[in-house]
Amino acid sequence: MAGMPYTKNVVSGIRGAAQVEAAGLRWLAEATEQGGARIAQVLSVEEGRLELERLDAAPAAEEAAQAFGTALARTHRSLPEDALFGQLPAEHPDGVAPMFGPAEQLLEMGIGTHSSWGAFHAQERLDPLLDRLTSGGGRASSADLKLLQQARDRIASGELDDGESPSRIHGDLWTGNVLWTAEGAVLIDPAAHAGHREADLAMLDLFGLEHLEEVMDAYDEEAPLREGWAERTPMHQLFPLLAHWVLFGGAYESPTLSAAETVLDL
């Protein structure tokens, strides 16, 4: 893995975006010393540009997947008990919104913190996306928007809160942000915050992670999941699916609406 640093240009046009990503990587890395997941090392950061350690990809192996599952569980449980949902890394730049999405198309999220996961998720994650979809010039029908609003309101009500404390989560943990190396999994490109741990696990499932079963089994052994977590997976996939609909259009309409229907059925 030695060699020239990897330079990432963050060309979203949003001031502070590179600093937000660097803060998230460093915050996640705080848990590595406690046995948490390995995180790409930030070497330097300036406006619109990050320098990271260069990582060489290698095939995923079952043993590495098991180790990653254990490490991810340790990352998740590394926050103090008084953390709030939506809490951001200490180095997150003042006055800059948290962001989600690819570097060239970042979406700004809400910045509030909450004691309730449902209130946080509805107000700070779903609402910014629903606002974008509503103002998108007919990209969603009135019936679609009604269904999405109903799902949002059900989450906001707190009925689906489970009493779990906030976890230190990656926040955008799709398979493309898990880089397999000869030394195991390394996480990149976070949208890091204090959130629900099932959100990270749902993202791993959304686009399919190699050896996901081994990851989940090891995770569950290290930090047992609450009964019904698999049935709640679509609820936690609603946000990233909605973001993809906003960013990339109607190909994501059907799975987004299906996830919303699942929320109403829980």
Q: Tens place of pLDDT for every residue, the chain, 266 residues?
A: 456 899 999 877 899 999 999 999 999 999 999 999 999 999 999 999 999 999 999 999 999 999 999 999 999 999 999 999 999 999 999 999 999 999 889 999 999 999 999 999 999 999 999 999 998 755 899 999 999 999 999 999 999 999 999 999 999 999 999 999 999 999 999 999 999 999 999 999 999 999 999 999 999 999 999 999 999 999 999 999 999 999 998 899 999 999 999 999 99
236 close to 205: Cβ distance less than 8 angstroms: no
Domain boundaries, the chain: 57-265
Question: What is the predicted pLDDT for the residue at 137?
Answer: 56
Alpha carbon of 92 to those of 19, 73, 241: distances in Å? 7, 23, 25
Outline where DSSP puts E strands in the chain.
6-9, 38-39, 42-46, 49-52, 99-100, 107-108, 167-169, 178-181, 184-187, 193-195
Angle at 100 between CA 229 and CA 210, to 5 degrees: 50
Question: What is the predicted pLDDT for the residue at 1?
Answer: 46
Question: What is the predicted pLDDT for the residue at 253?
Answer: 96
Tell me the CB-side half-sphere exposure of residue 68, using CA atoms within 13 A: 30
Question: What is the predicted pLDDT for the residue at 2?
Answer: 52
Question: What is the predicted pLDDT for the residue at 69?
Answer: 99
Nearest to 75 by CA among 177, 223, 180: 223
- How many C-beta atoms lie closer than 10 Å to residue 76's C-beta? 27
Question: What is the predicted pLDDT for the residue at 146?
Answer: 98
- How many C-beta atoms lie closer than 10 Å to residue 132's C-beta? 17
Angle between helices 142-156 and 127-134 (to 10 degrees): 170
CA 245 to chain centroid: 16
136 close to 246: Cβ distance less than 8 angstroms: yes
- 57-265 folds as Aminoglycoside 3'-phosphotransferase; Chain: A, domain 2 (3.90.1200)
Question: What is the predicted pLDDT for the residue at 254?
Answer: 97
